[in-house]
Structure 1
């Protein structure tokens, strides 16, 4: 077993794809790196997910400029994680939108998350010296917010806890396309270190109830067509269940974090070992599953120090 986090050795650049998944709706994907979304309205552009640094945001902007010269006026951040939000300054958007719960998490744990993620996954923070500080929204909402891009309505919704307590999805009703953030992944491990396993499945059900014809997931390829959408939702559900069940069985008998790790690996490795960022996510997923199964409802804040302590415990 490696003695450092798997992501610290992940230095290979990823190939970017920019795929139209609905009329004027594009998914920016990068082989398991964080995705972004683009919605082009009559007179303006909305971007979903900022990327981790202004430099990486520039890659999204370059793709946008290949298809439209309309101004980027709105930036939606589906949750608070550093790899999703710290590139926000590059877009110059007049509105930066988060759920109220996500904003509260920036205040509560945003700085710690930044330090933790930077130490775990340095490649995703290329150009980090240009980050001006924590990203704060200009606009927040509780359950639902509708934004008009000319005549095109975009609905931003908090459907329930999942990847974090403050997750938002973005729904474009005229094309039946949804951006899910990290609630849905495609052939990529879910990062569950700040998640809510028992709620996540119900939130997946709420997404499926919209019957989207295409989804821009948090990681992995763009999903076009109901068959691909359904497969990704159910694969995500299987990943979550396969992580939580064995960890919960260990917790129920008072077992250790290391025992939970071994039990989760036994169930998940045969099915998911080839998924993007699987080894990176696994220790954090097991730690959170073990905590939640023992009744810890609010995920404990990850810090660089806690990361190292957890990893040492798993090394035995």
Structure 2
């Protein structure tokens, strides 16, 4: 997380993609720390998925959502508590009902302040986007599953359990066969492992793989990843296969009593060779270290 971000993580609504009737995505445009943001409509209400980083981005999202909704009731949810996904929720207070799973609500309350400080250190552009952030408390907190009726369209919010974070959630739109994954899936990028012991140790490679195996077993028509281009079910298979390879190759080396440093070096070289086009190579080290910690668990 020490790597500086020079680009401005600003949400822009000029290239909105409609992926189903009354279901659009504000794309990340491959800008670091900008998520794909969903607007899902029903006859009576509209659900917003992700806020963008900080109040100024959230204001852009809210304005767009209100124009799209045309008077319909607004709801907000976030796939997990990380800053570019949830640290604009305060802007929606009094405008939208904010709902997340219990583990994510706990993450936001207990880990949010630390992540706010950490992300402010990523560069001036990020720090500016985080000015004035006040961590919002959800209006509705559910356990493992919540079905939100928007009027003629039911959206399924499903907590996955610990994976990329403790409070990961996927958002399913069954009638359109669309799945929003948050950072469980990135397109054309190595999986983001926020493994920073002793403080950041919630990510679990083994649990993440189990989640991906389940998601890939029921492939949707459209997958909206946390970051990167919208795709199909092959995105789920790509992450599943990558995590399987990462686990197997890391554990094979761990079995031989190889040092962690050598494991990281060999794993990084192998994965770059296997996936030369993928971005996010800085996450190979943390991924290997995380799986080293889970060896024989």
TM-score greater than 0.5 by the shorter chain? yes
Report the CA distance shift for 1:102/1:68 in structure 2 as closer, same or farther (over 3 A): closer
State the Cα deviation string for residues 210-251 of structure 1 (Å, max 9, x = none). Answer: 43111211111122xxxxx22211111233233333333343
Per mean C-alpha deviation after superposition, the further-off stretch among 69-78 and 249-258 is 249-258
For structure 2, list consecutive stretches of 5 or more residues without a partner in the other structure.
195-201
Q: Does 1:199 align with 2:195?
A: no
**Which one of the candidate residues 120, 123, 131 is aligned to 1:129?**
131
Q: By how many angstroms is 1:53 displaced?
A: 0.7
Report the CA distance shift for 1:254/1:10 in structure 2 as closer, same or farther (over 3 A): farther
Secondary structure of 1:218's aligned partner: strand
As a proportion of its length, which structure holds more helix?
1
Secondary structure of 2:84's aligned partner: helix
Q: Does 1:244 align with 2:247?
A: yes
For structure 1, list consecutive stretches of 5 or more residues without a partner in the other structure.
224-228, 296-316
Report the CA distance shift for 1:200/1:66 in structure 2 as closer, same or farther (over 3 A): same
Secondary structure of 1:146's aligned partner: strand
State the TM-score, normalized to the length of structure 2: 0.83
Q: 1:72·1:91 contact (CA, 8 Å) conserved in 2?
A: no
Q: 2:160·2:167 contact (CA, 8 Å) conserved in 1?
A: no
Secondary structure of 1:287's aligned partner: helix
The root-mean-square deviation of aligned C-alpha atoms, in Å, is: 2.7
State the Cα deviation string for residues 250-285 of structure 1 (Å, max 9, x = none). Answer: 433444432232022111112335334x13433432
Q: Does 1:216 align with 2:224?
A: yes
Higher relative contact order (CA 8 A, sep 6+): 1
Q: Which residue of 2 aligns with 1:22?
A: 20
Q: By how many angstroms is 1:36 displaced?
A: 1.4
The alignment covers a number of residue pairs equal to 284
Report the CA distance shift for 1:164/1:127 in structure 2 as closer, same or farther (over 3 A): closer
Q: By how many angstroms is 1:199 displaced?
A: 2.1
Q: 1:78·1:167 contact (CA, 8 Å) conserved in 2?
A: yes
Per mean C-alpha deviation after superposition, the further-off stretch among 214-223 and 152-161 is 152-161
Secondary structure of 1:145's aligned partner: strand
The within-5 A match list for 1:85-234 is 85-92=86-93, 93-120=95-122, 123-132=125-134, 134-193=135-194, 194-223=202-231, 229-234=232-237
